[in-house]
Amino acid sequence: MSAVLWNEIIEHLVVPMSILLVLVFGATLLSVRQALRPVRAAADAADQIDPMNSNSHLKFDKMPREVAHLAVAVNRAFERVAELMKSQKTLTSGIAHEIRTPLAAMKLELGHIDHPRARRVEADLDDLVQFVGQLTTLARLESFDHGVFEPVELVELSSSTVEQLAPWVYKNAHSLEFIAVGEAAVIQGVAALLRDALRNLSENAVRHTPAGTHIVVRAGPDFISVEDQDPKDWVLNTVKSAGDNLGIGLTIVRRIVDIHEGRFDRKMLPSGSIVTIIF
């Protein structure tokens, strides 16, 4: 009797149920895998999302309804980040306006005073205005939206920026030269920020070098460099004192380089220094 019962169990229970379990498990795994494929794609897309880009969103069209709610919540979080960025830009703009207005009024009043001390105060006010402008620029860069990138031609942009800077450079008893290297090429970036970076580097080269220094700006398909050339060995005497003053200007440049996913390189030469931005 036990042999008969065992034979019946094997033939009518174990064998059919084994086949059924294989089919059920296989179909279950396949269906779950198919259902989670959009979720896996969304996870890969989430790794590529730029939190500083207001256009970054997760696509939830083909997701299961239960998981799509999570994607919608993530998109709402990015929308709140975009609103925060806009409010921070408004705040920094307001602060800059509120500070610059009284400074301009003070400088206007000092212009009516004919005294050497008034001229020194005016120079200090100019430095303060520049410092406030740099702080404002740095604050805006911290909330910059990467979604506004557009094609930028580096050689053309550098040439026009150097042309604008030339009168100011010559006025400060320096000389300026522009050299185009290689063929023209286009990168993705923000022209206004790249102009600010080149302008900051050129102004630093003028302010922290002796009169008569020759400044060379080079631009190629994927780089911009600013070099100051002076025949005198001034670096050993001035680089230590100038280093602190260069801080915030170079911080702005480095932040612009980070936004464009580039590389910042600064080298000291026997006759000066050279700063290169590589994209």
Tell me the per-residue pLDDT of 42-97, one tens digit each, with 9 for 90 and over. Answer: 777 777 776 666 666 777 776 777 777 777 887 788 778 777 777 777 777 777 77
Q: Which two tokens stand for residue 125?
A: 């006010």
Q: What's the mean pLDDT in 159-188?
A: 89
In the block, tokens 């936004």 appear at 259
Check whether domain 149-278 has CATH 1.10.760.10, yes or no: no
pLDDT tops 60 at residue 150: yes
Least confident interval from 19-28, 54-63, 205-214, 270-279: 54-63
The rounded distance, in Å, linking the Cα atoms of 165 and 168 is 6
The rounded distance, in Å, linking the Cα atoms of 263 and 193 is 15
The pLDDT, as a whole number, for residue 240 is: 37
Measured torsion, CA atoms of residues 190, 191, 196, 202, in degrees rounded to the nearest 10: 130
Q: Closest Cα partner for 74 from 84, 59, 63? A: 59
pLDDT 10s digits, 244-272: 444 677 888 888 888 888 898 888 877 77
Q: Closest Cα partner for 229 from 264, 269, 201, 266? A: 269
Instruction: Output the pTM of the full model.
Output: 0.58
The pLDDT, as a whole number, for residue 145 is: 62
Q: Closest Cα partner for 146 from 216, 218, 51? A: 51
In the block, tokens 């705040």 appear at 91
Of residues 231 and 260, more confidently modeled: 260
Q: What is the mean pLDDT of the chain?
A: 79
Beta strands in the chain (DSSP E): 150-153, 175-180, 186-189, 214-219, 223-229, 263-269, 272-278
Contacts of 149 (CB under 8 A, 6+ apart): 188, 189, 190
Beta strands in 221-271 (DSSP E): 223-229, 263-269
**Domain spans, the chain:** 2-74, 87-142, 149-278
Of residues 102 and 48, more confidently modeled: 102
- In one-letter notation, the amino acid at residue 84 is L
8 Å CB contact between 203 and 248: no
The angle subtended at Cα 20 by Cα 17 and Cα 23, nearest 5°, is: 150
